[in-house]
Structure 1
Amino acid sequence: MALLLTAVGWAVGYLADPSFGVAGAVLFAVIGVVLWIYVQTSGHKAVLQISRARRATHEEDQILYNVGHEVAIAAGVPLPTLYVIEDSSPNAFATGLDPRDGIICVTTGLLEKLDRDELQGVVAHEMAHIRNNDIRLMTTLALTVGLIVLVRDLILRGWLRMGGRRGRRGEGNAVLLALAVALLVLAPIFAVLLHLAVSRQREFLADATAVQFTRYPDGLARALEKIASDPDELEAANKATEHMYIVSPFQKLHERSNLFSTHPPIRERIRRLRAMGIERRHESRTVPPVVQEDRSASIDDTP
């Protein structure tokens, strides 16, 4: 993504003037460093402000703290800071800097509409994002994509208004000109597709990791089904934060995922979790043949 941002910088500089291509690349590389620093220090704060989240309290959100402590012990990470969004639509997301400073945010609808096993599955899913360092990765990708799209729109509009005129130092190379325009047009599309592909794969991984924490796939499967089929609209969500939630606020249970979906299909996630549950129940009921042979041998050898 850093290389893509640098390439966009070169394209911006070249369209301004052929001699500014390298300067534009360096400038956008610096912007990338500044963006990285922002993500490291304040990115999560902006997300919480946009979502209008409040700090959870032991008095009002005791069950959330209890479940959080249980899952944190299973995950081997410190208890994340817990936040709550006053919204009747059930959903949750994770953010923060790293596993030592993670944040889990849930809606009041999630606390009210899910039972304890389902809530544990959701918290475990978000805890998995924290332990897998997804929170920093996804925040960085989202901000980078937003920056590339913004720059593309501003530069292309200004360049087209001037009738595609070049700088004072000549027309430059026609091939490089075409390459610069193509980069500005295609880079945002490629960045978005990369961001969404990574996001979908990390959701599958977080589901599987959550099962390792809870040992109960059906709890998370039921939670996903309830969240996706809930009729209430999540007012705090928007396209910038959509990818962070455990279930996309704009994707319902019956809808299929497409190339531009931030999440994999809900039904596929539920199917995989149900399969994990069947496999775990089967393993718990089956005694390995080697163990059976050892047991029979020990009985025969007993005087």
Structure 2
Amino acid sequence: MLYQQIARNKRKTAFLLVIFVIILALVGGGLGYLINGEPLSGIVIALIGSLIYLFIVLQNPGNLVMSMNHGREIHEEDDPELWHIVEDMALAGQVPMPRVFIINDESPNAFATGRDPKHSFVAVTTGLRKRLNRSELEGVLGHEISHIRNYDILVSTIGVALAAVISFISSFASRIWWWGGNSDRDDDDSSSLETIFKIVAIVFTLILGPLAAALAQMALSRNREYLADASSVELTRNPQGLISALEKISNSEPMKDPDPSSAGLYIENPFHKRGLSSLFDTHPPTADRIKRLENM
């Protein structure tokens, strides 16, 4: 059951990344059509632009994320127990010891970030450190180490970058259109088929593309959490520790000043908000996560 769930979630992650690239290409194609009637040029620009942006983002994402979340780096002498739990989980997961950070917030939460296992970061809030016992801390930190081991930290960074590029293209296309772009093609001789293509390009590039990217990013984040939960149990052999931790975290107050762009990285939504539709939640419902853990 455990290994089947891990394999299934990995396949879903690969599928969602493919969907992301397809959405990016379609939005780029729509931009190219709106500008000069050449979708291929827009696709090429979108793909090249996303690769350049990814290269820039992946240079040092960990320090940037920790800075945005006001993380303070600690060492073994600052908190020996926390340090050794992280060290134990890293050893069990067969990954290098990540840098450890504390975020001054009474709401219990944690996240992992970085470029790869050799350049990884783990952060816990002061509230998490105070409220969780050792077994629960092992469950949470096993979850975060699993994000590192499974390269979720890289996947999430790629997802955020692709979503940002799609949003930028959509915004740029909107400005081009309203400023009169493609006006040379807006004549009375345009065929009905060309008009249909134009409408489809506008709707997808300006509305459906960004919406689909947001949904894919949410699905990617939720799938990532399920995978890390299952992997944490693989490391700790104790699902009850993570179950108890999730119950405490979900029943706590929201964080005071979390970085909105980092919300999907946390083990639980730091805002503790649930919309009318679960499609837009960055995290799966805690009850579903606990039920899956109980079934293990």
Q: TM-score range by the shorter chain?
A: 0.7 to 0.9
Runs (5+) with no aligned partner, structure 2: 1-19
Displacement after TM superposition at 1:271 (Å): 2.1
Q: TM-score, normalised by structure 1?
A: 0.82
Q: 1:200 to 1:113 in 2, by over 3 A?
A: same
Runs of 4+ displaced beyond 3 Å: 169-172, 254-257
Q: TM-score, normalised by structure 2?
A: 0.84
Q: 1:46 to 1:103 in 2, by over 3 A?
A: same
Distance 2:185 2:284 in 1: 49
Distance 1:91 1:257 in 2: 23
Aligned counterpart for 1:241 among listed residues 240, 248, 262? 262
User: Does structure 1 conserve the Cα–Cα contact (< 8 Å) formed by 2:28 and 2:169?
Assistant: no
Distance 2:58 2:288 in 1: 33
Q: 1:257 to 1:11 in 2, by over 3 A?
A: closer
Identity across the alignment (%): 36
**Rg comparison, structure with higher value:** 1
Displacement after TM superposition at 1:239 (Å): 3.0
Aligned counterpart for 1:178 among listed residues 199, 221, 238? 199
Cα RMSD for the two superposed structures: 2.2
Partner of 2:271: 250
Displacement after TM superposition at 1:255 (Å): 8.6
What code does the residue aligned with 1:216 have?
N
User: Does structure 1 conserve the Cα–Cα contact (< 8 Å) formed by 2:62 and 2:114?
Assistant: yes
Q: 1:39 to 1:274 in 2, by over 3 A?
A: same
Distance 1:256 1:8 in 2: 27
Alignment length, in residue pairs?
271
Aligned counterpart for 2:116 among listed residues 76, 89, 98? 98
Q: Which has the higher contact order (CA 8 A, sep 6+)?
A: 2
Displacement after TM superposition at 1:133 (Å): 0.8
What code does the residue aligned with 2:35 have?
A
Distance 1:68 1:122 in 2: 10
Distance 1:272 1:17 in 2: 51
Displacement after TM superposition at 1:238 (Å): 3.5
Distance 1:131 1:154 in 2: 37
What code does the residue aligned with 1:136 have?
L
Distance 1:75 1:180 in 2: 46
Aligned counterpart for 1:5 among listed residues 24, 39, 46? 24
Displacement after TM superposition at 1:196 (Å): 1.2
Aligned counterpart for 1:166 among listed residues 170, 174, 182? 182
Give secondary structure in 1 for the equivalent of 2:260: coil
Alpha-carbon displacement from aligned partner over 1:179-230 (angstroms, at most 9, x marks no partner): 3113212111111111111221221111111011111111111111111111
Q: 1:15 to 1:255 in 2, by over 3 A?
A: closer
Runs (5+) with no aligned partner, structure 1: 277-303
User: Does structure 2 conserve the Cα–Cα contact (< 8 Å) formed by 1:88 and 1:110?
Assistant: yes
User: Does structure 2 conserve the Cα–Cα contact (< 8 Å) formed by 1:91 and 1:109?
Assistant: yes
Partner of 2:35: 16
Displacement after TM superposition at 1:256 (Å): 8.7
Partner of 1:300: none
Aligned counterpart for 1:57 among listed residues 62, 72, 75? 75
User: Does structure 1 conserve the Cα–Cα contact (< 8 Å) formed by 2:35 and 2:176?
Assistant: no
